[in-house]
Amino acid sequence: MDILQVAGLCELFPVVFLTTQYLSPLLVLGFTIERYIAVCHPFQRHRFCTTRRALLTIAALTTLSLTLHSVQAYFWKFYPESGECAVRPQLTEGGMASIWSVWSWVTELMVFGAVPLSILALNTRVISETRKISSHDLHQLSSRFNITQPLLYTEYFAKLEQYS
């Protein structure tokens, strides 16, 4: 017997399955935002990047994903006469313009389109800022070396003259 061929589980499985599937990119977005704050706004890090805030963010993202997919419990139905777990036929009327199809496309594009593009944009900004910081540090190091080197030569020759 297939586990989905049971009333209740047929309706619950898509909710749990899609919640966990959608939660993955949402959590990556949360961690990316935290990294963005830490690198691009380091003085705000202590205010926004706390353990408590991270736990609240995870709870909020989980709740958002669960709420977003709770409607799946209505979309799916177990039909005992055929022993089948399927989307309600009235929700698929109209093909691509059906409620089920539009809902699926909108949520899929939002979580697997907009979220990854946001992650890409934030990571690009983090990489840019990191490169800027790295090149700035190299420039400072080389300018320190350029100032220090002549001073060392001057001191060296002054000591040589002293012993001559």
State phi, psi for 85 to the nearest 5 degrees: -105, 115
Total structural domains in the chain? 1
The pLDDT score that the predictor gives to residue 7 is 77
Give domain status of residue 21, yes or no.
Answer: yes
The pLDDT score that the predictor gives to residue 8 is 84
The pLDDT score that the predictor gives to residue 106 is 94
CA distance 154 to 72: 78
The pLDDT score that the predictor gives to residue 3 is 64
Give domain status of residue 28, yes or no.
Answer: yes
CA distances from 33 to 23, 36, 39, 125 (A): 15, 5, 10, 11
Are the CB atoms for 61 and 28 separated by under 8 Å?
no
CA distance 17 to 15: 6
Give domain status of residue 1, yes or no.
Answer: no
Give domain status of residue 2, yes or no.
Answer: no
Judged by DSSP in three states, 113 sits in: helix
List the CATH number of the domain containing 75: 1.20.1070.10
The pLDDT score that the predictor gives to residue 55 is 94
The pLDDT score that the predictor gives to residue 83 is 85
CA distance 63 to 51: 18
The pLDDT score that the predictor gives to residue 1 is 47
Give domain status of residue 4, yes or no.
Answer: no
Those residues whose C-beta lies under 8 Å from the C-beta of residue 62, and which sit 6 or more positions away, are 19, 23
The pLDDT score that the predictor gives to residue 138 is 53
Per-residue confidence in pLDDT tens, the chain, 164 aa: 466 677 788 899 999 999 999 999 999 999 999 999 988 888 888 888 889 999 999 999 999 999 999 999 999 999 988 888 889 999 999 889 999 999 999 999 999 999 999 999 999 999 888 888 766 665 554 555 454 455 444 554 555 555 54
**What domain range is 31 assigned to?**
9-163
Residue 125 tokens read as: 């900004």
The pLDDT score that the predictor gives to residue 98 is 92
Helices then strands (H, E): number in the chain?
6, 2
